[in-house]
Amino acid sequence: MRKKIIAGNWKMYKLPNEAIKYIEEIAPMVADTTHEVVLCVPYVDLFYTLLTTQGTNIKIGAQNMHYETQGAYTGEISGEMLKSIGTQYVIIGHSERRQYYNETDETVSLKLKKAIECELKPIFCVGETLEQRESGKTEEIIKTQVKIGLSKLEKTQVNNITIAYEPIWAIGTGKTATAEDANNTIKSIRTEIANLYGSDIANEIIILYGGSVKPENAKELFNMSDIDGGLVGGASLNAEEFSKIVNYLKVI
């Protein structure tokens, strides 16, 4: 049985004082969940949220990292730096980073390798644009992203990765893929993983859906056979709303 992961992606929102208040508010609301609860926060919030989540079941992640250990890379943060303060997760290859900061499948593959070396848990994002979807290229695009992204890892490292399938047209737009559509694309990711690494790894690897997940649609999405939870942007900014997504089984 694969466990469910419900991860929030705060993007460029929340000052440290707001982050601390949020954690204090949400911690008791998600204390009895059996799901893994993760919040991926801006760099300056990492230390504060790591302190505030001590003694809770909430895990903290960053939203990006560099693939080198150190060097003259002004403005960058390394995996070692994230690990040194106790960060547990890191999002790699989010579509906003691919779109605005020139991340490619190649840089994503270097970052995934480094994140694993640093013993961070990467949430590796893949997804197609509307144009690619409308021209029937979804599966081809996603398979290429998965294949190149994972290409620098040893076979034994692959199921330390969590994949997040996030159709770009569904991010922040209020449009969600239908649960069947999302499940089918995620199934095709599993098929690709099976082709590359064998069916055991394909059955074990955790694959999330992301793109306008809300309390109202979480249950339908997360109950699908191959969807192992979600990566949640906008709806993770409000503690009550995000707690309802974590506790989706209780939402009527």
Which amino acids are annotated catalytic? 94, 166
Q: What span, in angstroms and rounded, lies between the C-alpha atoms of 206 and 32?
A: 21
Which of 122, 210 has the CB closer to ligand PGA? 210
Which of 98, 113 has the CB closer to ligand PGA? 98
By beta carbon distance, the residue nearest ligand PGA is 233
Q: Considering the complex, what minimum distance in angstroms separates the CB of residue 9 from ligand PGA?
A: 4
Which of 96, 202 has the CB closer to ligand PGA? 96
Q: Considering the complex, what minimum distance in angstroms separates the CB of residue 46 from ligand PGA?
A: 18
Q: What span, in angstroms and rounded, lies between the C-alpha atoms of 67 and 76?
A: 10
Q: Considering the complex, what minimum distance in angstroms separates the CB of residue 98 from ligand PGA?
A: 12
Q: What span, in angstroms and rounded, lies between the C-alpha atoms of 219 and 85?
A: 34
Which of 202, 231 has the CB closer to ligand PGA? 231
Q: What span, in angstroms and rounded, lies between the C-alpha atoms of 56 and 18?
A: 18
In 15-120 the beta strands, taken as DSSP E runs, fall at 36-40, 58-62, 89-92
Q: Considering the complex, what minimum distance in angstroms separates the CB of residue 165 from ligand PGA?
A: 11
Is 119 within 8 Å of 83 (Cβ atoms)? yes
Residues at the contact surface with ligand PGA, assessed by CB under 6 A: 9, 166, 171-172, 210-213, 231-235
Q: What span, in angstroms and rounded, lies between the C-alpha atoms of 120 and 86?
A: 9
Q: What is the phi/psi pair of residue 192, to 5°?
A: -65, -40
Q: Considering the complex, what minimum distance in angstroms separates the CB of residue 204 from ligand PGA?
A: 23
Q: For residue 58, what are the β-bridge partners?
A: 37
**125 is written with which tokens?**
């994002």
Which of 93, 202 has the CB closer to ligand PGA? 93
Angle, helix 105-117 to helix 138-150, in steps of 10 degrees: 40
